[in-house]
Amino acid sequence: MKHALNLYRRLLGVQIRSQMQYRASFALELVGTGLIALFEYASLALVFERFDNLGGWTLGQVAFLYDMAEFSFGIMDMIFAGFDPSLFGQNVRRGTFDQLLLRPVNISVQVLGSEFTLRRIGKIIVGAGIFASALALNPVAWTPPKALLATLMAVSQVAFFGGLFIIGATITFWTVESIEVVNIFTYGGNYMISHPMHIFPAGLRQFFTYIIPAIFLAYYPALYILELPDPFRLPAFAPWLAPLAGLSVLMAALAFWRFGIRYYQSTGT
Amino acid sequence: MIRVENLSKHFKVFKHHRGAMGTLRNLFTRQYNLVQAVNGLSFEIQPGELVGYIGPNGAGKSTTIKMLTGLLVPTSGELSVMGLLPWRDRQKYVARVGAVFGQRTTLWWDLPVIESLNLLQHIYKIPAASFKQNLDEFRTTLELDPFLDTPVRALSLGQRMRADICAALLHDPEILFLDEPTIGLDVVAKERIRQFIQQVNRERGTTVILTTHDLSDVEKLCQRVMIIDRGKLLFEGQLDALKAQFGGKRELLVDFAEDYPSPQIEGAEIAGREGGRVSYRFARGEIAASELIGRISAKYRIRDLEVREPQIEETIRRIYEERLLEN
Ligand SMILES: Nc1ncnc2c1ncn2[C@@H]1O[C@H](COP(=O)(O)OP(=O)(O)OP(=O)(O)O)[C@@H](O)[C@H]1O
Ligand SMILES: [Mg+2]
């Protein structure tokens, strides 16, 4: 375990150093991803100007949910970049993945250490800035439990999105042709948790409550922090289920991942 | 050290239908062809051996190496290397073996070679002293110094191969697997790699298994060869035994001092002639070369002569083509 952590640190160092070799392109991408993020927020705000509210939620409230998801996704995208399905699928086809299997280190640690997209920092910084301004739009009093829950929310969402990436990466052991399907899966998950869940049909919402517990990752913590009433009358501890939901998705994903590796070892590329 | 018994690997290659409807059909029908890449292989390899593993394209060499290195799980049969089951005991196992796949690299593409090697020290937990000693040695024998600070992406194929072989040996593996280590290299680079492999095998006692399409690799390096085709072992044993068993006939080339229309000789047949030069073919064991030369010089005037041994290439080609061992 200690060996794995130590190694992870070194592999990250390698990633960062090799990205710095292409300094100019690094800077460009940094600015680029930041600008794209800014543009996305701006278009959201524009859409909002026309409708004024979304399912009864104000711009500030929706922005809180949306920005939190964007911010967490950005962080996840940086940390879990090695599991990015399209990149990972390529590595499997090219045989790079075989090289990882030939080394005496935990395979997930190696995949995590195989890529670290530092340039996402641009997006993360913009996301954090916009998240801060979204907070300013919400006239709620901050308390220590709320701050704690907001932090848990971000961490749990990172785990959740990471789980989606791992599931997507695992699917590429079976097929690369359906990489689009895999993407719908990851980006669909992002869409679900960045919108107030009461706007979705009951069936879909129940799926994301009882099957994939995404509702506890964003919607319920948001209700608590923004002091909104719960239309579905779940118990009062529902917002605090966020870490459990994030962790369980990540654990399920890792179990699927191990199953996928066994499958890969029986079929090769 | 390596024990393989009745080992098989069969791949299911699913039929793919194209288009939107095709994708749906792929989901439900799952028709497939069975490719028997390796089919009932049995052999043993003792510590310190240097074994050449050859066979035509698609014979199942890489598939075997992948099973031996734990990348693939066998479909059936037994496989035990140093008492371990490679795919199941992956981490413990790969710490004790080294592998080079000629077509790809283990090194980090954007890193200078030396940094990749340093990283491997941590990956394999190599004690500093033995790391330094090994690295110093390989730097000289593989002549790594000119490109130690070059990023791997900028290396020539020969340089990259040397760096990769060095990388596979730093942790003192007990077995080294090489899948086409000389592919795409020029004659000089090949020779250098061969010498190095031989040296590692002799001086460090490392067991080496290498696949190749270049038979001079086998001829110069291996005491023992295994020939595989269509997933089955065609031959397994000493190179000399292979030659004796299947080696075609020897050849005697004679330059005559005069023009003889048909210089027939008992015990050999005329295989061809070019001006004053005639080539005879004769079988080892039936007649000695000296005897044959004696018979010829008794009847004709000879200017010059040369005995040619059957080429290993020729022998192997005949085995592949005629499948001499089938049945
Ligand atoms: N992952 C796979 N899925 C399906 N078929 C495979 C797979 N890997 C190999 N094969 C098939 O198995 C057979 C043996 O392939 P293998 O790569 O072991 O041959 P090889 O002896 O290494 O050939 P070469 O000399 O061309 O490298 C081939 O018919 C190949 O198409
Ligand atoms: Mg091969």
Q: Residue B327: which pLDDT band, with cuts at 50, 70 and 90?
A: very low
* pLDDT (mean) for A231-259: 95
Contact B104 A6 (CB under 8 A): no
Q: Which residue of chain B comes nearest to A14, CA vs CA? A: B111
Is the pLDDT reported for residue A228 higher than 50? yes
Instruction: Give this prediction's pTM.
Output: 0.85
Residue A42 placed within a domain: yes
CATH 3.40.50.300 fits B2-7+40-243, yes or no: yes
Ligand 1 surroundings by CB, under 6 angstroms: A 267-269; B 11, 13, 35, 37, 55, 57-63
Of A105-119, A151-165, B123-137, B307-321, give the lowest mean pLDDT range.
Answer: B307-321
Q: Residue A268: which pLDDT band, with cuts at 50, 70 and 90?
A: confident
Q: In chain B, what are the domain boundaries?
A: 2-7+40-243, 249-309
Residue A125 placed within a domain: yes
Query: Hey, is the C-beta of A95 within 8 angstroms of any chain B C-beta?
Result: yes
Residues of B in contact with A103 (CB under 8 A): 94, 123-124
Q: Return the percentage of chain A with pLDDT > 90, whole number.
A: 49
Over chain B, what is the mean pLDDT?
A: 89
Nearest-ligand number for the alpha carbon of B10: 1
Q: How many domains does chain A have?
A: 1
Residues of A in contact with B35 (CB under 8 A): none
Note the pLDDT of residue A238: 94
Note the pLDDT of residue A240: 96
Residues with CB under 5 A from ligand 2 (ion): B 62
Query: Hey, is the C-beta of B124 within 8 angstroms of any chain A C-beta?
Result: yes
Query: Hey, is the C-beta of B33 within 8 angstroms of any chain A C-beta?
Result: no
Residue A177 placed within a domain: yes
Residue A15 placed within a domain: no
Q: Map chain A to HEC letters.
A: CHHHHHHHHHHHHHHHHHHHHCHHHHHHHHHHHHHHHHHHHHHHHHHHHHHCCECCECHHHHHHHHHHHHHHHHHHHHHCHHHCHHHHHHHHHHCHHHHHHCCCCCHHHHHHHCCCCHHHHHHHHHHHHHHHHHHHHCCCCCCHHHHHHHHHHHHHHHHHHHHHHHHHHHHCCCCCCCHHHHHHHHHHHHHHHCCCHHHCCHHHHHHHHHHCCHHHCCHHHHHHHCCCCCCCCCCCCHHHHHHHHHHHHHHHHHHHHHHHHHHHHHHCC
| Residues spanned by the domain of A168 | 2-8+22-262
